[in-house]
A and B are shown apart, each in its own frame.
Chain A
Amino acid sequence: MDWTTLIGEPFSHPFMRDALCMSIFIAVMCGGVGVLLVPRGLSMLGDGLAHATLGGVGSALLLGFAPETSLWAAMPFAVVVALGIAWLGRHVRISSDAALGVFFAVSLAAGIAAIHIAARKGVQVDMESILFGNILAVQPEDLNIVGSLSLLVVMLLLWFGPRIAYAGFYPDLASMSGIRVVLKEYVLMALTAVVTVTAVRAVGVLLVSAYLVIPTVTARMISWRLGPMMLLSICTGVMGSAFGLVMSYHFDIPSGSAMTLCLGLLFILAVGIRGLRHSH
């Protein structure tokens, strides 16, 4: 098989090109936000919020949203959950992972109950695409929404990112420099909720943390500065998505798992590069 067949053939199909565009948008958002999230010890926040998204989907269905739009309707729910986790951690003095555990379980349970009630009313939900994602079925309107969100997230990252990062390094020192640390924490949580729900559309609830965590830790193997890490993280996400889509096409395996496996391979490669650098 030559390179043209390997790479060119999959992307000769419009649905594959749409999927690639979608994955690039998601990689940009997740790569940027993940670099701010993971060093704070919040690697599993995306995973928790993705599960909480089910609660939003269920609520949206009960409110009369169509199944195909219910995921987008779940976004405000996920944002409220994310802000709730931050509020609980700050005011009730429980750790972020414990607060995440509470919201994660309760909203997942609420989501399952709501989806069950909706199903009794005859509303059918494609649970497989929510759990595992279906980036190959992306619609042009989805691309428009995700493209716009991606642009918004990048602008917010450029504006807030350096101050969110400073607050993550040492909150007291950031505060001494005039940064409103609490506000920045809430902004980061809201951004994470937005990118998580968006990534659920591509890789599903079960694999969403792959996009937030793996590119970040891969970049950390190569660079120990935040700015270059952010760029490397985005590049890792884009490459893992592209290779994953190609692999999914040729081996006929689910796109979400193929993309996650490729991200994992890139991480192993980065660990190897780091090992080589240290040995020299």
Chain B
Amino acid sequence: MSEHSQKHGHSHKQEASGGVMQSSARVLEPPPSELRPILEWQQVSLEFAGRQVLHDLTAWVGAGELTCLCGSNGAGKTQMVRLGLGFMRPAVGKIILLGGDPSETRHKVGYVPQLKAFNRSFPATVEDALVAAIRGAWPLFRRGGERDRAAAALQRVGGLTLLDKDISVLSGGELQRVFVARALLQDPELLVLDEPLAAIDTKGRAQLMDLMGELRAAKKITILLITHSEPVVRSLADRVIFLDKGHLVGWGETSRMLAIDELRDVAFIGHDHESAIHGEEG
């Protein structure tokens, strides 16, 4: 921890580079050194599809906090998270997840991916999707005990009635609740949610925000949330990380970060499709 504090326990301003937010607005204030880092990106750069999408990025997520990762479309948020979970390797730099290499420790992470990449035509019930997370393999046939665990996980997110439903008929909000229940099944140390409020209705959105609020209040789990929604950040986040064109442009406490107009412009103006889909204000 002391080594970590030396590395990150100070504020500094980065040099500006072409096309990225002006350097005067860059505020990087890492969490206090008492916090244990759960997920760290250490001087990470990444090339993807022939384009550099992350540039010398150093940030970390502190234990027990809810950190929001924000930025415009194409800023590199999803790639940053996918690097953190070991789905891809950085060209330069190092990732430390729960004290080890992500490929070895990611089974301790609850991950709620974007719904748009989900195969909705797959023949599955909600119970199947949850039991798959318990078994680590798709349940072709049922076994005793697993159903009770799946039901308990659904109850936790207020979705017990969904247990026997065909997954293809669920609404976006119901599906998102199933994925959150699935992520919480293994009592993860870290919960990562990639735009969980996108494409869900007002009621589902409110329920999901309430659930995340409860998880945050319990302080037993660390949460990393990718979002385009300023109201979500304002109401839930302890800390925010802002990305712009693959550069880290803001990192610090929520109230402090949201007071900086340039950061809010980069991340939220014209990008809040999580609520814009339904014509909400947030």
Q: Bound state CA distance, A90 and B132, in angstroms? A: 25
Q: Bound state CA distance, A22 and B45, in angstroms? A: 56
Determine whether the beta carbon of B123 is less than 8 Å from that of A163: no
Determine whether the beta carbon of B136 is less than 8 Å from that of A177: yes
Min CB distance B136 to A, Å, is 4
Question: Which of B137-145, B153-161, B231-239, B250-258 lies on the face that meets chain A?
Answer: B137-145
Min CB distance B105 to A, Å, is 11
Determine whether the beta carbon of A179 is less than 8 Å from that of B136: yes
Determine whether the beta carbon of A230 is less than 8 Å from that of B113: no
In the complex, which residues 33-75 of chain A have their Cβ closer than 8 Å to any Cβ of chain B?
Answer: 35, 39-41
Partner of A40, one of B111, B118, B119: B119
Min CB distance A169 to B, Å, is 5
Q: B135's closest neighbor in chain A, by CB?
A: A162
Report B-chain residues with C-beta under 8 Å of the C-beta of A169. 119, 122, 124, 129, 132, 138
Q: Bound state CA distance, A176 and B107, in angstroms? A: 6
Interface centre among B118, B122, B137 (most CB of A within 10 A): B137
Number of B interface residues, CB 8 Å? 30
Determine whether the beta carbon of A39 is less than 8 Å from that of B121: yes
Report B-chain residues with C-beta under 8 Å of the C-beta of A226. 123-124, 128, 138, 140
Report A-chain residues with C-beta under 8 Å of the C-beta of B118. 170
Q: Bound state CA distance, A223 and B168, in angstroms? A: 13
Min CB distance A85 to B, Å, is 19
Determine whether the beta carbon of A168 is less than 8 Å from that of B125: no
Determine whether the beta carbon of B123 is less than 8 Å from that of A175: no
Partner of B138, one of A41, A163, A175: A163
Decide: A39 near B137, CB < 8 A? Known: A172-B113, A176-B109, A177-B132: no
Min CB distance B190 to A, Å, is 12
In the complex, which residues 103-135 of chain B have their Cβ closer than 8 Å to any Cβ of chain A?
Answer: 106-107, 109, 111, 113, 117-119, 121-125, 128-129, 132-133, 135
Q: A93's closest neighbor in chain B, by CB?
A: B49
Q: Bound state CA distance, A179 and B106, in angstroms? A: 12
Determine whether the beta carbon of A223 is less than 8 Å from that of B113: no
Q: A163's closest neighbor in chain B, by CB?
A: B137
Min CB distance B85 to A, Å, is 7
Determine whether the beta carbon of A162 is less than 8 Å from that of B137: yes
Q: Bound state CA distance, A40 and B125, in angstroms? A: 17
Q: What DSSP secondary structure best describes chain A's contact surface?
A: helix
Min CB distance B3 to A, Å, is 29
Q: Bound state CA distance, A93 and B137, in angstroms? A: 27
Report B-chain residues with C-beta under 8 Å of the C-beta of A170. 113, 117-119
Report A-chain residues with C-beta under 8 Å of the C-beta of B87. 172, 175
Q: Is A14 an interface residue (CB 8 A)?
A: no
In the complex, which residues 201-231 of chain A have their Cβ closer than 8 Å to any Cβ of chain B?
Answer: 220, 223-227, 229-230
Q: Bound state CA distance, A229 and B166, in angstroms? A: 13
Interface centre among B107, B123, B124, B168 (most CB of A within 10 A): B123
Min CB distance A274 to B, Å, is 12
Report B-chain residues with C-beta under 8 Å of the C-beta of A122. none
Q: Bound state CA distance, A230 and B136, in angstroms? A: 20
Q: Bound state CA distance, A180 and B135, in angstroms? A: 15
Q: Bound state CA distance, A220 and B129, in angstroms? A: 17
Q: A224's closest neighbor in chain B, by CB?
A: B166
Q: Bound state CA distance, A31 and B122, in angstroms? A: 16
Q: Bound state CA distance, A169 and B140, in angstroms? A: 13
Determine whether the beta carbon of B119 is less than 8 Å from that of A162: no
Min CB distance A17 to B, Å, is 31
Q: Bound state CA distance, A169 and B182, in angstroms? A: 14
Q: Is A166 an interface residue (CB 8 A)?
A: yes
Q: Bound state CA distance, A39 and B128, in angstroms? A: 15
Report B-chain residues with C-beta under 8 Å of the C-beta of A165. 137-138, 140
Q: Bound state CA distance, A41 and B121, in angstroms? A: 9
Min CB distance B114 to A, Å, is 9
Q: Which residue numbers of B lie inside 8 Å of A, CB to CB? A: 49, 85, 87, 106-107, 109, 111, 113, 117-119, 121-125, 128-129, 132-133, 135-141, 166, 168, 182
